[in-house]
């Protein structure tokens, strides 16, 4: 089982949909498991939004994944430069290849997690904006009517 956010090994932390009845199998999903509390909360906040606004839910994981791949290029280049640009890959020792893989995977996972956390932050800002608009609308009189 892989973490739904960063693809690390999941450790049994799951997600369930509070809007579904306890008896409804859709309340739980095997696909949504996480490696850590950090990834779990990064995921569950946007998911809570999705269940509330299913019509406008647009998430494009492939774009995010492509961006995460691109984010590995700089650390990959740095690592290759550190052991010598002129060395062919066939000359790499096993440890060096593993380190190369680690550099790429770390950068990929870090990007995915940061993006999910940014999504959470965007959602939070969005709801705070709505909440403050409602507060202004309910306290304002005729002179302060909100036009939308």
The residues that touch Zn ion, with contacts defined as CB under 5 A, are 3, 5-6, 8, 35, 39
Neighbours of 84 (CB within 10 A): 9
Question: Nearest approach, Cβ of 98 to Zn ion (angstroms)?
Answer: 21
Q: Which CB atom, from 3 or from 68, has the smaller least distance to Zn ion?
A: 3
* Residue placing its CB nearer to Zn ion in the complex, 46 or 96: 46
Q: Which is nearer to Zn ion, 3 or 103 (CB)?
A: 3
Minimum Å gap between C-beta 121 and Zn ion is: 17
- Do residues 69 and 108 make contact, with C-beta atoms less than 8 angstroms apart? yes
> What are the Cα distances from residue 111, in Å, to 20, 44, 47, 117, 144?
31, 18, 19, 10, 43
Going by C-beta distance under 8 Å and a sequence separation of 6 or more, which residues neighbour residue 103? 72, 75, 76, 78, 79
Q: Work out how close the CB of 108 gets to Zn ion at its nearest, in angstroms, rounded to a whole number.
A: 12
Judged by beta carbon, residue 69 or residue 135, the one nearer Zn ion is: 69
Binning the chain into helix, strand and coil, the percentages to the nearest 5 are 60, 10, 30
In whole angstroms, how close is the CB of 39 to Zn ion at the nearest point? 3
């Amino acid at each position: 089982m892989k973490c739904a956010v960063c693809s690390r090994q999941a450790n049994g932390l799951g997600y369930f949909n509070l809007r579904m009845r306890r008896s409804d199998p859709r309340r739980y999903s095997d696909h949504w498991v996480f490696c850590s509390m950090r990834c779990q909360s990064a995921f569950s906040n946007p998911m809570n939004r999705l269940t509330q606004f299913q019509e406008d839910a647009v998430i494009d994981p492939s774009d995010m994944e492509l961006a995460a791949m691109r984010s590995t290029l700089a650390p990959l280049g740095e690592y290759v430069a550190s052991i010598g640009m002129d060395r062919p890959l066939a000359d790499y020792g096993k440890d060096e290849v593993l380190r190369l893989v680690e550099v790429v995977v770390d950068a990929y996972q870090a990007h995915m997690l940061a993006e999910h956390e940014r999504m959470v932050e965007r959602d939070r800002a969005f709801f705070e904006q709505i909440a403050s608009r409602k507060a202004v609308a309910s306290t304002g009189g005729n002179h302060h009517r909100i036009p939308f």
